[in-house]
Amino acid sequence: MADSKGVVVLNTPNTAPKLTKKNYGEWCMHMRILFRARKLWQFLDDDVEEDEEPIGKPTRTQLMDIADLIYPLLSTEIRLLLASDSFKDGVALWKSIKTALVSTGKREYIKLQRQLRALEYPKSGSRATTFHAAYKKLVDAIEATGVKDSADNRFLLELLDKLPHDEYGTTIQFWHGMDIKYLTSDKAL
């Protein structure tokens, strides 16, 4: 049963939005709740601690259950994006979605970090929960880039914030003229 806000999944009161190219972070949080409730998250979680016991491989039924939870929540644009992928293996489908929609790399990391630094609490009529949601969305996107916090990355952020924004586009020239992936603080200087 679909509506503009989401769908009811497997006749439960849990709802999740349809996945689009713009709402991966929000969709992922809802899906995490659904998978945890059905004891399936352990097969999808990338952050398994080294000291945890191995969980084993999911059964065929569990793979199909994961796919059955995901598939109804895919918008047409996402289904077309993943047209060549199999929808029978839920773990593979989850990974395909993440690969297709999560921006990775140092350039994305720096862009998102700058957005996080610029995030301000709304001046009027807003709740702390609205600010927290925006903050959490950026933090999740930053973690999804796979770039680790380092002294070089902190320096690059500071440098980009401090570079003059003049009519000659100093910051723009720096930003587009460098291969950010391999940029260190020494190279930036």
pLDDT the model gives residue 109: 82
User: How far is the C-alpha of 141 from the C-alpha of 112, rounded, in Å?
Assistant: 7
Instruction: Give pTM, 2 decimals.
Output: 0.51
pLDDT the model gives residue 8: 47
The CA–CA distances, whole Å, from 158 to 98, 114, 145, 151 equal 30, 9, 19, 11
Three-class DSSP category at 184: coil
Q: Outline where DSSP puts E strands in the chain.
A: 7-8, 15-16
Residue-wise pLDDT for 21-74, tens only, equals 888 878 888 888 889 888 998 888 765 544 445 467 889 899 989 988 998 899
User: How far is the C-alpha of 137 from the C-alpha of 131, rounded, in Å?
Assistant: 10
pLDDT over 60 at 186, yes or no:
yes
Three-class DSSP category at 12: coil
pLDDT over 50 at 4, yes or no:
no
The CA–CA distances, whole Å, from 134 to 33, 43, 189 equal 19, 28, 33
